[in-house]
Copies of this chain bind each other. A is one copy, B any other.
Amino acid sequence: MTSQFQNLSNKDVYQCIKDDILTLKLEPGQYISENEFSKKYNVSRTPIKSAFLRLMSEKFIEILPQRGTYVTLLDLEYIKEIIYMRTVLETEVILTAIDCLEDKVLDKLEDNLKQQEELIGIDTFEIEDFYKLDSEFHFILFDFVKRTKLWEIIQEFQVYYTRFRMLDIVATGSFEKLYLEHFTLYQCVKAKDKEGVKEQLCSHLHGNLDRLSGKIDNELKKYFIN
C-alpha cells in the first residue's frame, strides 16, 4: 500500500500538519513521531524534521529530545492575554473607523453578515467556512483604517487562540450567537455608538471564554495546561 500523499514539498508537509493541528484533527497533547509522519507522507525523516522544527518554533508542537514529540496543550493564560490584546487593539481600530466611516465599508459588513446568515441556514456546512467568514468580518475594519499589517501581526499569535475558537464552535455549536454578536456590533458601528462598540466587542471577544469555561474544567480539561 502506498501513501495517499505523493511528491509533497517541504512546505506542503508543514502546511498539512499545521492545518491538522489548527482544525483539531491532531488533538492538543497528542503524541506524534518523525517516523510516523515519514511513512504517512512517504518522505524521509529530514523534511519531516524541517516541518517539525518550524512548528516547534511557532509553538504548535513540543519536541522532547530523545523522548518524543507532542502537539502543544492550550495555554489558557496565554489565550486570555491574546483576547485582552485583541480587545484593546480592535476597539482602537473600530473607534478610529467610526470617525471616518464610509458607506462602502458598511456594505462590506452587511454583505459578510448575509453570507454568515446563509451559511448557518444550510443543514450541513463546514466549520472552517464559518471560521473564515468570522475572521473576514473583523478584518474589514482593520483593512479600512489601513491596518492590514497589524491584522497580520495579530494573526501570527493565534497559535493557541485559533484552536480555542475552533473548540468553541465545535464543542458548543455557537454559530447563531456569534452571528448575532456580529450583527449587534455592526449596528453599533453604523450608529456610531462608541460606547456600544466598546461593550459589544469586549463581550464578543470574551464570549467563547464564557461559553467554554465550564467545559475546560471537565470534558475538555485534557486539552489544557494544568
Contact = CB atoms under 8 A, between A and B. Distances in A.
Interface of A: 49-50, 53-54, 56-58, 77-78, 81-82, 84-85, 88-89, 92, 147, 149-150, 153, 156-157
Contacts of A88: 88-89, 92
What number of copies of this chain does the assembly contain?
A: 2
Contact of A81 (B78, B82, B149): B149
A186 to B, nearest CB: 23
27 contacts: A49-B50, A53-B53, A53-B54, A53-B57, A54-B54, A54-B56, A54-B57, A57-B57, A57-B58, A77-B149, A78-B149, A78-B153, A81-B147, A81-B150, A81-B153, A82-B153, A84-B147, A84-B150, A85-B89, A85-B150, A85-B153, A88-B88, A88-B89, A88-B92, A89-B89, A153-B157, A156-B157
A54 to B, nearest CB: 4
Nearest to A89: B88
Contacts of A82: 153
A57 B147 CA distance: 23
A155 to B, nearest CB: 12
Contacts of A78: 149, 153
Contacts of A147: 81, 84
Contacts of A54: 53-54, 56-57
- What 9 A-B pairs come out closest when comparing CB atoms? A81-B149, A54-B57, A53-B53, A57-B57, A81-B150, A88-B92, A50-B53, A88-B89, A77-B149
Given A54-B54, A84-B150, 19 more contacts: A49-B50, A50-B53, A53-B57, A54-B57, A57-B57, A57-B58, A78-B149, A78-B153, A81-B147, A81-B153, A84-B147, A85-B89, A85-B150, A85-B153, A88-B88, A88-B89, A88-B92, A89-B89, A156-B157
